[in-house]
Amino acid sequence: MSTSPLHAVAHLLDTSARICVLTGAGVSAESGVATFRDPDGLWARFSPYELASMDGFLANPDRVRDWYNYRRAIINSVEPNAGHVAIAKLEKMFGASFTLATQNVDRLHQRAGSIRVLEVHGNIHENRCNGCHGVRSDDELTCPSCSGSMRPNVVWFGEDLPEDVFAAAEEAARTCDVMLVIGTSADVWPAAGLPYTAKMAGAQIVEINPNQTSLTPHVHHVLSGTSAVILPQILEAMT
Ligand code: OAD
C-alpha cells in the first residue's frame, strides 16, 4: 500500500518531537495580502530600492511612509486564513517543542492564535527610531526621545535582522526534527538559510508551496498546493 505525500508528512509530524515552521508571504496570500515575488507580487509593481531600503527612505520618507500606511490598511482589513489557524493549532499540540519563525510583517499569525512568533523581518504595525532605535506603536514622525526620524519597524534590504530573534530561529533550526517551509520563495537571505541549517543538523525538510522554489530540490517532502488548503489537511490526517 502506498502512502500519499500528505499522509507521509502527517505521520512524520506524529512521530517527531521538535517542530520548526518557517513561513513567508505565501501564507498570507489567501487572506488577500499580496506576496512579493509572484507575477502579481509587490515587487512587480513597486520598487524595493525606493520602498524597502534606507537610501529610498532618506530620499523620500513621505513616499515610504505612505506605502507602508497603504499596506497597513490592507492588512488591517483582512483576516487570518485556515493556514494561519492550522499553524497556531500545531503550536498548541507541540507546546515548547514548537517554533514558528516568520518573514511576514503582518502579524496575521498572532491574530490566528500563534503565541510565540519569531518575526525575523520585524513587523509593519510599529515604527522604530533611526537614531535611538526606540520602538513605538503610534504614528509619530519624529522620535519624542531623541528627535530622530521614525521609520517602519521592518528589516530593509541591506539591513541586519534583529540579532536575538534570528539567533533563536537558528537554534530552533539546528535542534528540530522536522522543518515545515511554507509559502516562501526562499530567496531572501539569511532567512533562506534556515532550512539548510536544519537539514545539515539532520532534520526532515517539508516544503508547502504551489510553486517550485530554489529550495525544492533540497527538501525531503514537497506538498504542492496552497497553505490554507494543505495545512488543515495535514492536521486532519494526524492521529
Ligand atoms: P515571496 O513573494 O518571495 O514568495 C512567496 C512564495 O509564496 C512563493 O514561493 C509563492 O509560490 C508562494 N505562494 C503563493 N501563494 C501561496 C499560497 N496560497 N500558499 C502557499 N504558498 C504560496 O515572499 P517571501 O519568501 O516571504 O521582506 O519573501 C521574503 C522577503 O522578501 C519578505 O519577508 C519581504 C520581501 O522583501 C520584508 O518585508 C523585510
For the chain, how many structural domains are there in total?
Answer: 1
Whether the predicted pLDDT of 118 surpasses 60: yes
Residue 220 lies inside a defined structural domain of this protein:
yes
Quote the DSSP letter at residue 218. Answer: G
DSSP string, 87-143: HHHHHHHHGGGEEEEE---S-HHHHTT--SEEETTEEEEEEEETTT--EESS--SB-
30 CA closest ligand 1 atom index: 18
Residue 196 lies inside a defined structural domain of this protein:
yes
50 CB within 6 A, ligand 1: no
Check residue 2 and give its pLDDT: 66
Check residue 149 and give its pLDDT: 94
Q: How far is the CA of 36 from the centre of ligand 1 (A)?
A: 6
191 CA closest ligand 1 atom index: 29
Q: How far is the CA of 24 from the centre of ligand 1 (A)?
A: 5
Q: How far is the CA of 99 from the centre of ligand 1 (A)?
A: 19
Q: Which helix (H) or strand (E) holds 205?
A: strand 204-208
Query: Which of 209, 233, 234 to mutate for ligand 1's pocket (most ligand atoms within 8 Å of CB)?
Result: 209
Residue 1 lies inside a defined structural domain of this protein:
yes
Q: Which three cell numbers stand for residue 146?
A: 531623541
Q: Which three cell numbers stand for residue 172?
A: 530552533
Residue 21 lies inside a defined structural domain of this protein:
yes
Residue 237 lies inside a defined structural domain of this protein:
yes
Residue 201 lies inside a defined structural domain of this protein:
yes
Whether the CA torsion 122, 124, 130, 132 is positive or negative: it is negative
24 CB within 6 A, ligand 1: yes
- What is the spatial distance between Cα 188 and Cα 102, in angstroms, rounded to a whole number? 12
Whether the predicted pLDDT of 117 surpasses 60: yes
Q: Give strand pairing partners of 20.
A: 99, 179
Q: Give strand pairing partners of 23.
A: 102, 182
- What is the spatial distance between Cα 130 and Cα 137, in angstroms, rounded to a whole number? 15
Q: Which three cell numbers stand for residue 231?
A: 495545512
Preceding peptide of 190 cis, ω within 30°: yes
Question: Can you give the CATH number for the domain in which 167 is found?
Answer: 3.40.50.1220
- What is the spatial distance between Cα 91 and Cα 116, in angstroms, rounded to a whole number? 8
Confidence band (pLDDT; 50, 70, 90) for 3? confident
Q: Which three cell numbers stand for residue 28?
A: 498570507
Residue 201: which domain range? 1-33+79-120+161-239
Indicate which residue of 121, 218, 220, 221 is catalytic. 121
Residue 140 lies inside a defined structural domain of this protein:
no
pLDDT tens for residues 77-102? 999 999 999 999 999 999 999 999 99
pTM listed for this prediction: 0.97
Cα–Cα–Cα angle for 156, 158, 164, rounded to 5 degrees: 75
Residue 169 lies inside a defined structural domain of this protein:
yes
